[in-house]
Structure 1
């Protein structure tokens, strides 16, 4: 597939978000460890990955989002993306919001480690549609 893309000069790849299948959890944690070690160690998280659907199962995700599930409120625990690829972090969040709209969840709340997101994370959240609620938390209504 990569050779075909190079032959055709196609550089844009369609990336989709999906819940990480059980068989990819080890690869997901290894990938996250490279980008965000603390996030990778939390075994209670539900992982979502931004992937090329044509790639094989050994190909790492383009970006990762980790959440703590809930029936109505889902909490974003963190993001992992390659260094310098803020666009991928935004893309995985936008796709995650779309995917969660098909569930019973009504709100995605950013709950990164620490009380307040740093400036870079806040900029990513805002670009992905998060806004402060009445309590000052960053949320997206689904």
Structure 2
């Protein structure tokens, strides 16, 4: 029972931190889009910078750089430094993903978010209540993602 309570407390902390990270990502994406695009759909100066200039590559690649930095330095970082890097990463991902607001409606983005959150929550609850290791699904799901990427590329043409 003590181990279960400790695991439960740990998992709640992890889920809370990840939830806060998702909130930061969403707010950064929403905020960046609203700073970048006027009400009539025209790009502001900020929008020109992050969406239509060579700087957009920095915006696109910055989350990858943050992940690489964190993965190389995580063992020697303090907890506070690692958390700060995670929050910066969450904001960078939001900035990078803000372009989805240029293509999709708020309704479709919201529906996709809630469908993904429900699937994650359902699988988490299933794994927690049945105490099954769901890592065996990993290779199957990766193959599904690869299949979806191939289908998306085919549909482009």
State the TM-score bracket (shorter-chain normalisation). under 0.3
More helix by share: 2
More strand by share: 1
Larger radius of gyration, structure 1 or 2?
A: 2
**TM-score normalised over the length of structure 2:** 0.23
**TM-score normalised over the length of structure 1:** 0.24
